[in-house]
């Protein structure tokens, strides 16, 4: 029976195999150069060099390839769902070949073996790709000090995404029984799943850490303080407030940076207006952008001195509270997310088998 | 003897539409059974229920004594050629044979390869490039090479040209003769069935309108023509299936087990096609019980 499934899958397997080989060649050709460059610039700067500029110069290398790999890592699990998952059963129904296949092999057996074989192949493709890209990008990642920035493109989680996308595609294919609608619905469903997970599940998997910093005259002068409002998920703007500079915690995933007083109450707009009546007047422009998780609109005051005064004044009562996921949570989060996606894939696949059984027997 | 297919009160609903409703039918084993009916009569639904491609909404169906789709053993016992003979276009003829061989322990490789050779098919040819007739033949090979006890064919002739149709039926008859397999064959073309079927079932609106051995059916039905008369005046052992009248004449198709004694009638034998069409044209069977019996006067 496995041979039967392999017979039907070999064309797709060939495409995936060629893709992996091409990727391996590209990365093997460009990778050693990156390691060499890292050793020569970033690693060597410890001996009295300008590390910050060495790092930023290094992070400009291979920009196009890095972008392409990012796109690849995000898109390939989805493509597996769309082109391996959705058509798996939908095509059988659409072309009527289920009448041939399922009168030769019992449908449950056929489906379980197909799910197992192509599901494992999905995991293998995503896993190998992630392994290669993670290896290739390791000099960049260690220079960047932001491991969470590429969390979903490295290590284990792409395996979970691929197999969950595959199982989602199969289930939708079973329910819709037409290839093109199944592909479109799988696309919508998988994007929605990823967004929901990113915004509502991953931040709550592990309790975050907190770091409090007192605000002094020095920190007010040094940092990149600004005044503006943060943009929410749906583009809603909150009230304008004082925004501290991004905290310098290595490899942290920062949830929020807020100003709170000793009792933990946040800085209110009225308290801010009372302390710094001049703030916001004569604002010069806005910048910043909105990402998936929200962004901020910054309004810099033309008068840097006024801002400094204000920060110092606020610092008397308020301190900075950073809520973040520390670097040591990276691997627990990777494993937990992988486990959740694997469980999801098993659940979705099970629903697919059940839906076919309900129709047939 | 276990029936090939036996259904009681069988029904299948898709959403709110009934594709098959209250179908009670017994299809005998050991014969070539033709299942005839107009499009939409529920033939395909009934056959899909029989091979386990659909689950019944209500009622029961047993095939060779087992429940369709209950497991691989049941699947292996029943060969199926689906309507339009679906194949995987990108797989070769040899791949299709492997597909039948892997899951079926009873697969007869020599038979399969022999028939492919006999048909002149290239095992390396992609199934997508086969003609309609070749596809149907390949589907038949896949169905028979697992040496089933029952062979179910859903409108196998519908999309074939006359020559391909003849070759397909010839292939089918060779299999029946050499393997002694029970066959259920659906069609809406009676002429095709007349040559191969021993037993005929006429299905209309999910109901069995007529079932029986073909020679018996032909012997029991007669076309009567004579002076105009009311069909209800016929003797009670003659069931009127169809009646047509002109000013002076009546022509009736009558089912009776007795010889027609009334000298006013001219009796003619009927073809199977006439018979089926007559049954499909009349909505409900006529009631014979209230009419007088015609007795032989001594």
pLDDT of residue A233 exceeding 70, the answer is: no
Domain-located, residue A323: no
* Same domain as A239, residue A173: no
CB contact under 8 A, A104 and B75: yes
**Smallest Cβ distance to A99: which of B53, B70, B100?**
B53
User: Strand A226-231 relative to strand A241-243: parallel, antiparallel, unpaired?
Assistant: antiparallel
Q: Given pLDDT bands bounded at 50, 70 and 90, which one contains residue A265?
A: confident
Rg (CA), chain B: 22
* Chain A residues contacting B via beta carbons under 8 Å: 1, 3-4, 7-8, 11, 95-107, 109, 358-361
CB contact under 8 A, B91 and A7: yes
* Same domain as A198, residue A224: no
Region of residue A218 (phi > 0: left; psi between -120 and 50: alpha; otherwise: beta)? alpha
**Smallest Cβ distance to B99: which of A7, A99, A359?**
A7
Q: Which residues of A touch B80 (CB under 8 A)?
A: 99, 103
Contacts of B117 (CB under 8 A, 6+ apart): none
- Confidence (pLDDT) at A304: 66
pLDDT tens string, chain B, 298 residues long: the values are 688 999 999 999 988 888 888 888 888 888 899 999 888 888 899 999 999 999 999 999 999 989 998 888 899 999 999 998 899 988 899 999 998 888 888 899 998 999 899 888 999 999 999 988 889 889 999 999 999 999 999 998 887 888 888 888 888 888 888 888 899 999 877 887 888 888 999 888 877 888 888 888 888 888 888 888 887 777 877 888 888 888 888 888 888 887 877 788 888 888 888 888 888 887 655 444 455 555 566 5
For residue B69, the chain A residue with the least C-alpha distance is A361
A267: DSSP letter: P
Instruction: For residues A320-329, give the mean pLDDT.
Output: 87
Decide: A355 and A171 in contact? Cβ < 8 Å.
yes
Instruction: For residues A221-231, give the mean pLDDT.
Output: 67
- Domain enclosing residue A184, as ranges: 2-205+330-360
CB contact under 8 A, A1 and B86: no
Q: Distance from B66 to chain A by nearest Cα, in Å? A: 13
For residue B53, the chain A residue with the least C-alpha distance is A360
CB contact under 8 A, B99 and A102: no
Q: Which residues of B touch A103 (CB under 8 A)?
A: 51-53, 75, 78-80, 82, 143
pLDDT of residue A266 exceeding 50, the answer is: yes
Q: Distance from A188 to chain B by nearest Cα, in Å? A: 26
* Same domain as A299, residue A158: no
CB contact under 8 A, B55 and A3: no
**Interface contacts A/B by beta carbons within 8 Å:** 84
Q: Which residues of A touch B68 (CB under 8 A)?
A: 361
* Same domain as A223, residue A160: no
* Residue B103 near chain A (CB below 8 Å): yes
CB contact under 8 A, B55 and A359: yes
Token look-up 């390691």 returns A35
Q: How many CB atoms lie within 10 A of CB A350?
A: 14
Per-residue model confidence as pLDDT tens digits over A270-312? 777 777 776 655 444 444 333 344 444 444 444 567 777 777 7
Give the SS3 label for residue A257: strand
Q: Which residues of A touch B84 (CB under 8 A)?
A: 96
Query: Can you tell me the distance from the alpha carbon of A355 to that of A352, in angstroms, rounded to the nearest whole number?
Result: 5
Instruction: For residues A177-192, give the mean pLDDT.
Output: 96
pLDDT of residue A236 exceeding 60, the answer is: no
- Confidence (pLDDT) at B187: 86
- Confidence (pLDDT) at A295: 46
Per-residue model confidence as pLDDT tens digits over A133-183? 999 988 888 887 788 888 889 999 999 999 999 999 999 999 999 999 999
Q: Residue B198: which of B272, B293, B109 has the closest Cα?
A: B272
Query: Residue ranges of the domains in chain B?
Result: 5-205, 219-281
What's the 3-state SS for chain B? Answer: CCCCEEEEEEEEEECCEEEEEEEEEEECCCCEEEEECCCCCCHHHHHHHHHCCCCCCEEEEEECCECCCCCHHHHHHEEEECCCCCCCCCCEHHHHHHHHHCCCCCCCHHHHHHHHHHHCCCCCCEHHHCCHHHHHHHHHHHHHCCCCCEEEEECCCCCCCHHHHHHHHHHHHHHHHHHCCEEEEEECCHHHHHHHCCEEEEEECCEEEEEEEHHHHHHHEEEEEEECCCHHHCCCCCEEEEEEECCCEEEEEEECCCCCCCCCCEEECCCHHHHHHHHHHCCCCCCCCCCCCCCCCC
Q: How many CB atoms lie within 10 A of CB B210?
A: 20
- Confidence (pLDDT) at A303: 59
* Same domain as A139, residue A245: no
* Same domain as A50, residue A142: yes
A312 by Cβ neighbours in 10 Å (0-12 / 13-18 / 19+) ranks as middle
Sign of the alpha-carbon torsion through B289, B292, B294, B295 = positive
Q: Which residues of B touch A6 (CB under 8 A)?
A: none
Burial A25-41 (b: 16+ CB within 10 A, else e): eebeeebeebeebbeeb
**Chain centre to alpha carbon of residue B156:** 11
**Smallest Cβ distance to B69: which of A97, A98, A360?**
A360
Domain B5-205 CATH (choose: 3.40.50.300, 3.30.70.2740, 3.30.460.20, 3.40.1280.10): 3.40.50.300
**Smallest Cβ distance to A103: which of B80, B91, B102?**
B80
* Residue B102 near chain A (CB below 8 Å): yes
- Confidence (pLDDT) at A82: 95
* Same domain as A17, residue A138: yes
CB contact under 8 A, A103 and B82: yes
Q: Which residues of B touch A360 (CB under 8 A)?
A: 52-55, 69
* Same domain as A191, residue A82: yes
Domain-located, residue A211: no
Q: Which residues of A touch B102 (CB under 8 A)?
A: 1, 3-4, 105
Domain-located, residue A324: no
Decide: A330 and A148 in contact? Cβ < 8 Å.
yes
Q: Residue A70: which of A169, A136, A165, A163 has the closest Cα?
A: A136
A146: DSSP letter: -
Q: Distance from B185 to chain A by nearest Cα, in Å? A: 16
For residue A102, the chain B residue with the least C-alpha distance is B53
Q: Given pLDDT bands bounded at 50, 70 and 90, which one contains residue A46?
A: low
pLDDT of residue A252 exceeding 50, the answer is: yes
CB contact under 8 A, A103 and B91: no
CB contact under 8 A, A96 and B99: no
Q: Distance from A15 to chain B by nearest Cα, in Å? A: 15
- Confidence (pLDDT) at B192: 78
As for how many domains chain A has, the answer is 2
Domain-located, residue A325: no
CB contact under 8 A, A104 and B103: yes
Lowest-pLDDT range of A49-53, A227-231, A342-346, B205-209: A227-231
* Same domain as A234, residue A169: no
For residue B76, the chain A residue with the least C-alpha distance is A104
Decide: B32 and B199 in contact? Cβ < 8 Å.
yes
Q: Distance from B17 to chain A by nearest Cα, in Å? A: 16
Q: Residue B103: which of A343, A289, A107, A42 has the closest Cα?
A: A107
* Same domain as A346, residue A241: no
CB contact under 8 A, A7 and B90: no
Query: Can you tell me the distance from the alpha carbon of B143 to that of B141, in angstroms, rounded to the nearest whole number?
Result: 5
Q: What is the ipTM of this complex?
A: 0.85
Domain-located, residue A303: yes
* Same domain as A252, residue A349: no
Rg (CA), chain A: 26
Token look-up 């899951």 returns B103
**Chain centre to alpha carbon of residue A159:** 13
Domain-located, residue A322: no
CB contact under 8 A, A103 and B98: no
Decide: B274 and B194 in contact? Cβ < 8 Å.
no
* Residue B278 near chain A (CB below 8 Å): no
pLDDT of residue A258 exceeding 60, the answer is: yes
User: Strand B58-63 relative to strand B239-245: parallel, antiparallel, unpaired?
Assistant: unpaired
- Confidence (pLDDT) at A283: 43
* Residue B82 near chain A (CB below 8 Å): yes
Q: Distance from A75 to chain B by nearest Cα, in Å? A: 27
- Confidence (pLDDT) at A117: 93
pLDDT of residue A226 exceeding 80, the answer is: no
Per-residue model confidence as pLDDT tens digits over A76-130? 999 999 999 999 999 999 999 999 999 999 998 899 999 999 999 999 999 999 9
* Residue B14 near chain A (CB below 8 Å): no
Helices (H), chain A: 2-40, 51-58, 63-80, 86-95, 98-101, 107-144, 157-176, 179-196, 217-222, 269-275, 304-315, 330-360
Angstrom CA distances, B135 to A44, A185, B46, stand at 70, 33, 23
* Same domain as A181, residue A82: yes
């Amino acid at each position: 029976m496995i041979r039967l499934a392999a017979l039907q899958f070999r064309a797709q397997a060939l495409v995936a195999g060629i893709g992996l080989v091409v990727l391996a060649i590209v990365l093997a050709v460009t990778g050693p150069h990156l390691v060499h460059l890292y050793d020569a610039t970033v690693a060597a700067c410890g001996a009295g060099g300008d590390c910050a500029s060495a790092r930023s110069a290094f992070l400009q290398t291979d920009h196009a390839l890095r972008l392409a790999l990012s796109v690849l890592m995000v898109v390939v699990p989805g493509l597996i769902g769309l082109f391996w998952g959705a058509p798996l059963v939908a095509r059988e129904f659409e072309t009527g070949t289920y009448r041939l296949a399922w009168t030769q092999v019992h449908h449950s057996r056929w489906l379980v073996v197909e799910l197992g074989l192509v599901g494992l192949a999905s995991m293998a493709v995503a896993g190998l790709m992630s392994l290669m890209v993670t290896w290739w990008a390791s000099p960049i990642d260690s220079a960047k000090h932001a491991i969470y920035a590429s969390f979903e493109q490295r290590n284990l989680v792409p395996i979970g995404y691929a197999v969950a996308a595959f199982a989602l595609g199969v289930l939708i294919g079973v329910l819709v029984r037409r290839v093109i609608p199944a592909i479109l619905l799988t696309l919508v469903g998988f994007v929605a799943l990823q967004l929901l997970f990113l915004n509502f599940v991953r931040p709550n998997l592990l309790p975050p850490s907190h770091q409090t910093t007192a605000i002094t005259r020095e920190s007010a002068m040094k940092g990149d303080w600004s005044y503006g409002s943060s943009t929410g998920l749906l583009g809603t703007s909150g009230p304008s407030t004082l925004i501290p500079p991004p905290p310098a915690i290595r490899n942290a995933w920062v949830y929020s940076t807020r100003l709170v007083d000793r009792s933990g109450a946040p800085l209110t707009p009225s308290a801010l207006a009372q302390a710094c009546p001049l703030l916001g007047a004569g604002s010069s422009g806005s910048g910043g952008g909105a990402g998936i998780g929200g962004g901020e609109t910054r309004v810099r005051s033309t008068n840097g001195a006024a801002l400094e005064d204000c920060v110092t004044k606020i610092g008397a009562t308020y301190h900075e509270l950073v809520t973040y996921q520390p670097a040591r949570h990276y691997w627990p989060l990777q494993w937990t997310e992988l486990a959740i996606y694997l469980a999801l894939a098993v659940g979705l696949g099970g629903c697919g088998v059940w839906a076919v059984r309900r129709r047939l027997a | 003897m276990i029936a090939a297919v036996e259904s009681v009160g069988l029904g299948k609903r898709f959403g709110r539409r009934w594709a098959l409703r209250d179908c009670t039918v017994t299809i005998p084993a050991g014969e070539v059974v033709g299942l005839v009916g107009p499009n939409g009569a529920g033939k395909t639904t009934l056959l899909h229920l029989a091979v386990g491609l659909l689950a019944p909404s209500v009622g029961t169906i047993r095939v060779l004594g087992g429940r369709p789709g209950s497991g691989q053993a049941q699947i292996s016992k029943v060969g199926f050629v689906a309507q339009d003979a679906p194949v995987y276009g990108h797989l070769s003829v040899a791949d299709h044979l492997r597909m039948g061989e892997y899951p079926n322990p009873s697969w007869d490789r020599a038979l399969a390869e022999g028939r492919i050779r006999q048909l002149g098919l290239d095992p390396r040819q992609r199934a997508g490039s086969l003609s309609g007739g070749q596809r149907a033949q390949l589907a038949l090979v896949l169905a028979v090479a697992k040496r089933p006890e029952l062979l179910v064919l859903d409108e196998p002739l519908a999309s074939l040209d006359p020559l391909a149709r003849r070759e397909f039926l010839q292939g089918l008859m060779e299999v029946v003769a050499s393997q002694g397999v029970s066959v259920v064959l659906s069609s809406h073309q009676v002429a095709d069935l007349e040559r191969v079927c021993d037993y005929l079932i006429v299905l209309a609106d999910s109901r069995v309108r007529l079932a029986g051995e073909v020679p018996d059916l032909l012997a029991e039905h007669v076309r009567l023509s004579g002076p105009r008369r009311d069909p209800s005046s016929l003797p009670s052992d003659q069931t009127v299936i169809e009646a047509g009248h002109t000013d002076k004449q009546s022509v009736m198709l009558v089912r009776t087990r007795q010889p027609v004694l009334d000298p006013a009638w001219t009796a003619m034998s009927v073809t199977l096609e006439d018979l089926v069409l007559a049954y499909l044209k009349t909505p409900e069977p006529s009631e014979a019980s209230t009419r007088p019996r015609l007795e032989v006067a001594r």
